[in-house]
Structure 1
Amino acid sequence: MLKELCGGMLTSVEIFCLTLIFSLPLGLLISFGRMSKHKIISFIFKIYISIMRGTPLMLQLLVVYFGPYFIFGIQISNTYRFVAVIIGFALNYAAYFAEIYRSGIEAMPKGQYEAAEVLGYSKVQTFFKIIFPQVIKRIIPPITNEVITLVKDTSLAFALAVTEMFTVAKAIAANQKTMTAFIAAAIFYYVFNLLVAFIMEKVEKKLAYYR
């Protein structure tokens, strides 16, 4: 039982890490599109965010997995299951992160942009050297909430028969007729979230250098 649970735990951690690696930078790009001065581009990204946030993640996973077959007639292999999970999670969480980035960027005073322009900074230099570091400080709390939610959402990978922690625990409980696997899974998710909260709190305190 312990060996199987450890295998599921590693899969959950892998889903968690890969989702963050892809969704955080993708969310920043989507936020740029959402804030674009071109109305068509802004509207497209607004619709994307609305769809990703307004439909269940489980449904999105099923669409990503079965979409290539039903739309293009492409045969689906078993190895694509895990890839589909990462794609689905990354696209979903990028939409949430995009709105968090946007709220942080738009909250910055316009005077800082004007001061940077007077000092001779380009728009790219202004954003990455002046604006973005301050945005990161402001958005750490909402980012932490989404990351904690992601830990629990990794269990939704069972929709594509990916054997992460919840799937393994459910299978063990059904076969052995015991609650032990569920208790072990609950402890894993709780400890994982405690660790995430602890790390994010440390990051927040480290960035609070003006307090």
Structure 2
Amino acid sequence: MNSKKRMTSRQLQAIERRQQLLGSAKKLFAKNGYYNTSVRSITQSIGMADGLIYHYFPNGKLEILHTIIREGCEVLSEHVNKILAGIDDKMTLDEVIVYFCKEARNTFQLDNELIIIMFREKDLLGRETSELLLKTFVKIWNAVNAFLKKRAQFGEIRQLDFGMATHQLMCTVASTVIMKYLGDNKLQQHNDNTYIERLIQFTTNSWKRLD
């Protein structure tokens, strides 16, 4: 029994140390970049001996990067599922897109360091991670495309090129995220909810019936 308790304690400690390593590496990768972050700087920030990092991540720093992105993408994917589940047929087209824009912004806030790392180190993404990102993007694309087709069936918008409309909507959502994180005071007037609602209305008006 005591041996089992000690083993459980070691396992818990190993999980904690692993998470400490990932947390330290994430902060440093986001701040300094992957290539400017040494293994020593990762271990020193949590008071760990350099060699122990290879006990948890045998392939070293690159394995840590892939783990951070893979595990982070899994969390983001779950968040995307919750966003899509929150779309109700009773909501108007504009209400859905406003909701989608706001939730997209919240998604970036969910793990800002992860987003920075993914964009900066995109050339170092492993195949598994790239496929996960693509799968998440395709899931969003298909959901938006299906949503627009359903709204056309309801008569809320006219029949149109739904692939192009999906692209247009995704770009609109992305632009609201970019405006929020540029941090330029000149763009603050384009950064509030009123402006976002006007932007969305301008976009959706081109999809609605002319009669």
Task: Specify if TM > 0.5.
Answer: no
Q: Please report the TM-score for the alignment, with normalisation by the length of structure 2.
A: 0.30
Decide which structure has the larger Cα Rg and report it.
2
TM-score, normalization by structure 1: 0.30
- Relative contact order higher in (CA < 8 Å, ≥ 6 apart): 1
